[in-house]
Amino acid sequence: MITNGRSLTLRSYAKINLFLDVLGKRPDGYHQIRTIFHEIKLHDTLNFTLTKKSSLKILTNTDFVSTRKNLIYKVAIFIQKRYNVDYGVEIKLEKNIPVAGGLGGGSSNAAATIKALSEIWELSLTPEEEHNIAKNFGSDINFFLLGGTALGEGRGEIITPLADIRLDNLLLVKPSLGIFSREAYHLVKPVGSHNQSWREITSGFKPEMCFNRLQSGICQSYPEIERIIDQLLEQGAIHSLLSGSGSTVIGFFRDQVSTQRAAEFFSGKNYWNCITQTKERSTK
């Protein structure tokens, strides 16, 4: 029996892309990609409370997007209608992952919503059902249903689990500007040959192997991002690159001291930054 007021709290983790290559344009208008995702410990927090009224309500600590355009809302409405759910839910979102930063915050929130509603509405969705729902709303959501490290192919929705890679000294830096996926892929440079370093990443990771095909086009349009990449290297990063299709840059550092020093440098320039680590795939 479903009890009114029952609640569930989930962490919704961000991701970085250790590798992202664009293989070509698809007939459906999307780009064919090959990417290696890795969850990181930076996260949003979502609290779901069951209500007997069928309405859906989202409360957030930041006014980042209208409710009805939010993936959380779209996914919740979809599940409610598909499974004829008579109950509603109140969702409280504590947002820490930057919007339009290439860290997958919206997709991660959507994946958490699928899992939470399966439990709180007692739907007992199978993994296959969860993934089928996810495919309707974006390319990264399927990854977040799995987590850890994974190869993404197709639009990014075809997910193959990979062995987790432990990285402890990651510095994320984001300027005030945000870049949405559509623009990032519009700016991508023509592909000559495909980068094959993804094979090596899965067997013997080194930061220098990381690659993002979207980076050159974005840096040409947004020189500030290229400056951040260069400044991370000047601050001692082993390697730095753009994460995904947003505006966040990743710096890979050797130790905690140099990571902290670099974070203070970027804080002094009023850039959002975050020291984080990779997260292993949950066994739950």
Tens digits of per-residue pLDDT, 249-279? 999 999 999 999 999 999 999 999 999 999 9
Q: What are phi and psi of 142, to 5 degrees?
A: -60, -35
Which residues are bridge partners to 69 per DSSP? none
The Cα 4–Cα 50 span in angstroms is 6
Pick the closest to residue 183 from 257, 253, 102, 119 (CA basis). Answer: 102
**pLDDT tens digits, 16-72:** 999 999 988 888 878 889 999 999 999 999 999 999 988 999 988 876 555 667 899
> Computed from CA positions of residues 58, 62, 65, 70, in that sequence, does the dihedral angle turn out positive or negative?
negative
Average pLDDT of the chain? 91
pLDDT at 190: 63
Domain ranges of the chain: 7-162, 170-276
Active-site positions? Answer: 15, 140
pLDDT band at 10 (very low <50, low <70, confident <90, very high): very high
State the pLDDT at residue 108.
97
Is the confidence at residue 124, as pLDDT, over 90?
yes
pTM, two decimal places: 0.92
Q: Map tokens 């939470």 to a residue.
A: 116
The CATH architecture assigned to 170-276 reads 2-Layer Sandwich (3.30)
| 2 pLDDT above the threshold of 60 | no
Q: What pLDDT sits at residue 36?
A: 96
Task: Name the pLDDT band for 3 (thresholds 50, 70, 90).
Answer: low
- Spatial separation of the C-alpha atoms in residues 13 and 105, rounded to whole Å: 7
Query: How do residues 191-248 score in pLDDT, each as one tens digit?
Result: 666 887 788 887 889 999 999 999 999 999 999 999 999 999 999 999 999 999 999 9
**Do 7-162 and 170-276 come out as alike in CATH topology?**
no
Report the top-level CATH class of 7-162.
alpha beta
* Contact present, 91 and 47 (Cβ < 8 Å): yes
